[in-house]
Amino acid sequence: MSARSAVVITGANGEIGHALIERLTEHGQDAVIALDLREPDPSVAKRCAQVVVGDVTDAASFERVSDQYDVRAVFHLAAMLSTSSEKSPERAQSVNVDGTLRALGFAMARSARRGAKVSFVFPSSIAAYGVPSLAEKQRAGAVREEQFNAPTTMYGVNKLYGEHLGRYYSRHYRQLAQEPNPPGVDFRSIRFPGIISAFTVPSGGTSDYLPEMLHAAAQGKDYACFVRDDTRIPFMAMPDAVDAILQLADADAAKLSSVVYNVSAFNPSPAEFSERVLRAFPQVKITYAPHEKRQGIVDTWPADLDDSLARRDWAWAPKYSLDRMIDEYLLPNVKQRYAGV
């Protein structure tokens, strides 16, 4: 009997991990193997064929993934986000870069075992961009993948390098080796904007202000936003982020002209977003207390992303506009989640 097909998800207990695992186990055929630093929430763990609690920087964590499975894909979600990474850049390097190297090594080894490529999806970030000034940000408008690739945060530096590592592993790995390489990895990455989930709250990111505002208001709590009310960066709804990951993973390799793709949906300022939040939760107060350094970081991120390459190569199109996300996804779910709070 052939081994059961499986996908490995690092950072399984994070925000994207929760949503991706739910989707994969509801609609997919693969066994899901979760790897996370902490024991995943019971709602995640119960959906997984195997749970490995371990650090992505430690090769031994990957060695514990059961040999019983034919690992056909790795979704390498484990990362320290931008605000956390600025507090501890050396640890960020270790998690975001060494962890990625370990995950790529694991995928390489599994490709040798299965005699076929292992698909590798890497969520990169808007943080890979570094726009030098606010004036330039306003002038730039929707930014393409190859523009402003000089990030100002450790997280952005790490993510940009992760993209390069993936390109190297999938196209040029050990190009001077005498012995043949294993089939290797099929690496694909997405530069995500801020992501908003109705079910989880982010931590350690610099785009956290919109989801924090929504989740605070839904619990009847006031919120002091840590960036100016006119700050503008792109966002998208979590279900669209999961769709993007799965669509890119399944896309026909012959149609992919890049290993890195922008995706985007809308870009409300906190003032615009809060207006809608306050319509739903009029009893709360939203104020602004910009944090100088965090403001400085989002000011270097583009106001908009040009995702025409993803639209052309793999038919990317978000399902949720800002209004639809708020009315059909966020409000019904957060109201239910916090009912009685």
Distance CA 37, CA 252 (A): 33
Tell me the two tokens of residue 66. Answer: 């059961």
11 near ligand SER (CB under 6 A): no
- Tell the smallest beta-carbon distance from residue 340 to ligand SER (Å): 30
Distance CA 330, CA 237 (A): 9
Local structure of residue 122 (DSSP, 8 states): E
Residue nearest to ligand SER (CB): 205
Decide whether 126 or 309 has the Cβ nearer to ligand SER. 126
Distance CA 206, CA 301 (A): 10
Which residue in 14, 17, 182, 194 binds ligand SER (CB under 6 A)? 194
Which residue in 127, 216, 218, 325 binds ligand SER (CB under 6 A)? 127
**Angle between helical axes of 15-27 and 238-250 (0-180°, round to 10):** 60
- Tell the smallest beta-carbon distance from residue 156 to ligand SER (Å): 8
- Tell the smallest beta-carbon distance from residue 82 to ligand SER (Å): 3
**Angle between helical axes of 270-280 and 209-218 (0-180°, round to 10):** 10
- Tell the smallest beta-carbon distance from residue 227 to ligand SER (Å): 11
Size of the site for ligand SER (CB under 6 A): 11
81 near ligand SER (CB under 6 A): yes
* Nearest CA-CA partner of 333 in 214, 230, 227, 222: 214
125 near ligand SER (CB under 6 A): yes
| Dihedral angle computed from the Cα positions of residues 222, 227, 232 and 237, in that order, rounded to the nearest 10 degrees | -50
**Which of these segments, 25-33, 92-100, 121-129, 173-181, binds ligand SER (CB under 6 A)?**
121-129
Residues 169 and 181: beta-carbon distance below 8 Å: no
Decide whether 152 or 207 has the Cβ nearer to ligand SER. 207
Decide whether 81 or 310 has the Cβ nearer to ligand SER. 81
Decide whether 184 or 205 has the Cβ nearer to ligand SER. 205
Which residue in 62, 192, 223, 329 binds ligand SER (CB under 6 A)? 192
Q: What are phi and psi of 100, to 5 degrees?
A: -65, -40
Residues 46 and 112: beta-carbon distance below 8 Å: no
Q: Scan for tokens 């979760």, then name that residue.
A: 34
Decide whether 7 or 81 has the Cβ nearer to ligand SER. 81
Tell me the two tokens of residue 224. Answer: 């002091």
**Which of these segments, 18-26, 205-213, 246-254, 271-279, binds ligand SER (CB under 6 A)?**
205-213
**Secondary structure (3-state) at 133:** coil
Distance CA 152, CA 163 (A): 16
13 near ligand SER (CB under 6 A): no
Q: Scan for tokens 């990455």, then name that residue.
A: 189
**Secondary structure (3-state) at 195:** strand
Tell me the two tokens of residue 209. Answer: 């202000």
Decide whether 54 or 318 has the Cβ nearer to ligand SER. 318
**Which of these segments, 49-57, 88-96, 137-145, 204-212, binds ligand SER (CB under 6 A)?**
204-212
- Tell the smallest beta-carbon distance from residue 87 to ligand SER (Å): 12
264 near ligand SER (CB under 6 A): no
Residues 189 and 164: beta-carbon distance below 8 Å: no
Distance CA 313, CA 167 (A): 17
Which residue in 82, 158, 170, 267 binds ligand SER (CB under 6 A)? 82
Per-residue contact track with ligand SER, 152 to 191, x per CB under 6 A? Answer: ---x------------------------------------
206 near ligand SER (CB under 6 A): yes
Decide whether 186 or 240 has the Cβ nearer to ligand SER. 240
Judged by the rule CB under 6 A, the positions of this chain that interact with ligand SER are 81-82, 125-127, 155, 192, 194, 205-207
